[in-house]
Amino acid sequence: MVDVEQLLTRLYGDEGRQDPYPTYAGLHALGPITALPPRPEHRAIAAVAVGYDLVGAVLRDPEWYKQPPPGWAEQEILRTFQTSMMFVNPPDHGRMRHVFAGTFTPRRLGALEPVILRVADELLDAMADAGAGGTDFVADFAYPLPARVMAEFIGIPEADLSWYRERVDRIDEFLDVAGKTPQRLAAANTAGAELRAFYADLLAHRRRSPGTDLISGLVEAVDAGGIELTEDELISNLIVLFNASFVTTVYMFSNGLPLLLAHPEVAAALPGDPELTAGAVDEILRLEAPVHFLARAAPRDAVLGGVPIARDQNVLLVIAAANRDPARFPDPGRFDPRRSGPPSLAFGIGLHYCLGAAVSRLEGRLALPRLLSRFPRLRIEERPTYSGSLFLRGIDKLLVHTGGEERP
């Protein structure tokens, strides 16, 4: 049998980064959790878990905590992460999350629907204007849709979006599981400092001339003393919120399109079938999860699935592999939008469950049928390549041929 060392060597290489799923299948064959041999890039990671039930149980247990990698404390980028809900533990986590969760109300979600439809239609119009030829689906649709929708929701000027993305990319490269090199750290630090300055300006601007966006609402609440959040924490949370909100959703679209087009009967039926569309969006997220790894540290000496984990050691939780656990998802690699079974772990679970899960699902449910009814002959021009990151995995460029539009 192949051992974990061989599997990880493959995973960290180019082949594994392009297609990690054979490695995940190999890890499943070893069991729900496997102890890791010590390697410099593993730092305090004691084991890798892929079993759906085991991964879910660790994430649901509020005592398993998020631990910053050693040596981060002096770094600018860590300061940002460590003062945001995504990276802190209770009780600070609950205090911060509460502020933002309060803004994700059903009413606000309802108000997003027309924004999503308007932005989707504008992008589809532009694709149609370009004629029946080739286009990069990521540049023309998958990226600008969530970026513009979330920017409008949060209150980030659209003109700043490309500048912004470069900074986000620097941070995401550093977050990659094997990406913590000094050069990437330095680049992430600079990006973090630039984003902080950007938000400090934006908050000052919104203070002077408030709008109806999330930032204006938060600034008003902080200034009125109604919110238990310092300005520093507000900035950190906004950075993390916007980062979390669109890079992931870009990949929901770009990873999802090849799956849909490989199943023409599903693609053709989506426009008239909201239930099928909802199932297809969830199945895309299960099979091609944008986030592959999470990690949690043990609150005390523990034994997980027979593997001893010492206190403060981490377990790498491969949610993208848990989503293909053959024990929970029969024929796990098959795309089946009518599949019943447990929810995927694409949005995590437990305390840190994705705050924007409903937003992303809504974007997918509204925009994908729109796209497929407008371009029923859409096809992929060349084999896509993936980002190469093992943390956020997705297609960054996807050449498609629209095949001409169909006006309803």
Give the residues lining the site for ligand HEM (CB under 6 A).
85-86, 97, 150, 241, 244-245, 248-249, 252, 285, 290-291, 294, 346-348, 352, 354-356, 359-360
CB-wise, 67 or 248, nearer to ligand HEM? Answer: 248
Can you tell me the distance from the alpha carbon of 89 to that of 75, in angstroms, rounded to the nearest whole number?
19
Q: How far is the CB of 285 from ligand HEM (least distance, A)?
A: 6
**Per-residue exposure over 299-308, b if at least 16 CB sit within 10 Å of its own CB, e if not:** eeebebbebe
**Residue nearest ligand HEM, Cβ-based:** 356
CB-wise, 28 or 352, nearer to ligand HEM? Answer: 352
CB-wise, 222 or 405, nearer to ligand HEM? Answer: 222
Strands 314-318 and 45-49: parallel
Can you tell me the distance from the alpha carbon of 117 to that of 111, in angstroms, rounded to the nearest whole number?
11
CB-wise, 360 or 402, nearer to ligand HEM? Answer: 360
Q: How far is the CB of 398 from ligand HEM (least distance, A)?
A: 16
CB-wise, 100 or 329, nearer to ligand HEM? Answer: 100
Q: Give phi and psi for 380, each to the nearest 5.
A: -85, 135
List, in order, residues 6 or more apart from 225 with CB less than 8 Å away.
none
Can you tell me the distance from the alpha carbon of 398 to that of 391, in angstroms, rounded to the nearest whole number?
20
Q: How far is the CB of 401 from ligand HEM (least distance, A)?
A: 26
> What angle do the packed helices 106-129 and 357-374 form, to 10 degrees?
30
**Per-residue exposure over 373-401, b if at least 16 CB sit within 10 Å of its own CB, e if not:** bbbbebeeeeebebbebbbbbbbbebebe
The residue behind tokens 């729900």 is: 32
Q: How far is the CB of 224 from ligand HEM (least distance, A)?
A: 23
CB-wise, 390 or 405, nearer to ligand HEM? Answer: 390
Supply the DSSP symbol for 40.
G
Q: How far is the CB of 373 from ligand HEM (least distance, A)?
A: 22
Q: How far is the CB of 12 from ligand HEM (least distance, A)?
A: 21
Can you tell me the distance from the alpha carbon of 274 to that of 294, in angstroms, rounded to the nearest whole number?
31
CB-wise, 141 or 347, nearer to ligand HEM? Answer: 347
Supply the DSSP symbol for 71.
T
Q: Please give the full DSSP string across 195-234, using - where no structure is assigned.
A: HHHHHHHHHHHHHHS--SSHHHHHHHHHHTT-S---HHHH
CB-wise, 116 or 219, nearer to ligand HEM? Answer: 116
